[in-house]
Structure 1
Amino acid sequence: MNFTDQLREENNDIFQLIFNHPFVQGIGTGEISKDALAHYIKADFEYLNAFMQIYGIALSKSKKRDDIAYFFDQINFILNDEIHPHHNFCNHIGVDYASLQGHPLPPTADHYIKHMMYHAQMGTSSEILGALLPCPWTYLEIGRELMEQYNPNKDHPFYDWISFYASGDVDNTTFELRKRLDILAENAAKDEKDLIREAFRKSCQLELKFWEMAYTCESWPNAEKVNS
């Protein structure tokens, strides 16, 4: 069993919680509140901006042209392709995409980005990959789970979202990240592998919390809200 297979097995509990989360299941049934969808898009737009920046850090630490080209292509994929699922949600709720951009991060999204930035700035290349991998991997499996569970057709309100994340493009992203991490892990000491495991586990947990953040429209506490 290679290293990323081990990571997937060790974190199956979190993956299953993600699949069963009411927001994720709501994508499958086509029933999610407009407020929750808008909250998700606001946070995910800023999250993906940070994800591209972390790919940029990974690129700067790369020594092989193949790796440089890979991270460059991944930035381009997020910038030009991963906006399509956002447009699906925006069209469903009848809100202009531009109006949901540039908003402050809710607590969970803020935490998630800083978690990844910490490993990007302070850790090894393998730690960066460990922190990044759960995002495409969980979304790939969400797409496949919802395809299998609900078998949506093109009339489904979130068909474009589901089919995008169940697609070969997201599969390729996950496969390539896994392949690179498996290669790095072959020569990693136990202490480094433990750090990768920690980074991967926390990212999985924060993926779950991200769905909960969107579902509950999480916001920062303030005196007005506490006293209301």
Structure 2
Amino acid sequence: MSFTKELRRENEDVFQAIFDHPFVQGLGEGELPKEAVAHYVKADYEYLNTFLTLYGTAISQSDSREDITFFHNQIAFVLGDEIHPHRNLSDYAGTPYENLQGYPMPPTADHYRAHMKSVATEGLLGKTIAAMLPCPWTYDEIGKELKRRFSPEPDHPFYEWIEFYADDSIAETTGYMMKRLDEEAERASPEDRRKMKEAFRKSCQLELAFWEMSYSLEEWPAGKETAR
């Protein structure tokens, strides 16, 4: 069994909890509180800014032009393409996308950012990929699951969001990162493989927590959010 198949089997509980979360189910059903959707976009915009820098870190840890090209293209993808599902959510929330940018991250999103950056500073590409992979992997499966289960038509409020993440381009991103993680794990020490598993598991847990953070409108215990 490949390393990534082990990871998927060991984290089935978290994946299933993500599929069952009321925010994710609401995306499929086409009905969510608008304030929760806006809260998600605010946090995810900043989260993706961190993801951009992590792709840059992955480039610095890469030895092959193939990897460098892949991570470079992913930066372009986030900047140029991943704004489309955000705009779909912003339209639903009734707020211009530009008005949902520049807010401080809620505690869970901030924790997720700190976790990935901490793993990436260890300097091993395999660990960096392990911490990043749950994001595209869970969204790939969410998109396909929602499309299969709800069969949304173009008039569905979240049709564009579901179609975007059910698209093969997300699966291709996930597939490449899985392949590279399998290769890195193959030559890693047992201790580094253990750390990769820990990083992956924590990121999966934080993906689930991100959905809950959005649905519950999580904020810091004191102080109001203010856009920069």
* Corresponding residue for residue 95 of structure 2: 95
Separation of aligned partners in 2, 1:70 and 1:56: 11
* Corresponding residue for residue 72 of structure 2: 72
* Corresponding residue for residue 6 of structure 1: 6
Separation of aligned partners in 1, 2:22 and 2:223: 29
Q: Which runs of 4+ in 1 moved over 2 A?
A: none
Distance change in 2, residues 1:180/1:223 (3 Å) = closer
Separation of aligned partners in 2, 1:93 and 1:131: 30
1:63 positional shift: 1.3
Deviation by residue 1:167-190 (Cα, 9 ceiling, x = unmatched): 011001100000111111111111
- For the residue of structure 2 that corresponds to 1:122, the secondary structure is coil
* Corresponding residue for residue 41 of structure 2: 41
Separation of aligned partners in 1, 2:41 and 2:54: 20
* Corresponding residue for residue 142 of structure 2: 142
Deviation by residue 1:40-99 (Cα, 9 ceiling, x = unmatched): 000000000000100100101111111111100011011100111000011112211111
Separation of aligned partners in 2, 1:223 and 1:65: 46
- For the residue of structure 1 that corresponds to 2:121, the secondary structure is helix
Aligned partner letter, 2:152: P
* Corresponding residue for residue 175 of structure 2: 175
Separation of aligned partners in 2, 1:152 and 1:220: 35
Aligned partner letter, 2:173: T
Deviation by residue 1:99-137 (Cα, 9 ceiling, x = unmatched): 100000000000000000001112411000000000000
Separation of aligned partners in 2, 1:102 and 1:57: 23
Separation of aligned partners in 2, 1:222 and 1:72: 39
Aligned partner letter, 1:31: E
Q: Does the Cα contact within 8 Å between 2:116 and 2:132 map onto a contact in 1? A: yes
Aligned partner letter, 1:83: I
| TM-score between the two structures when normalised by the length of structure 2 | 0.96
Aligned partner letter, 1:109: A
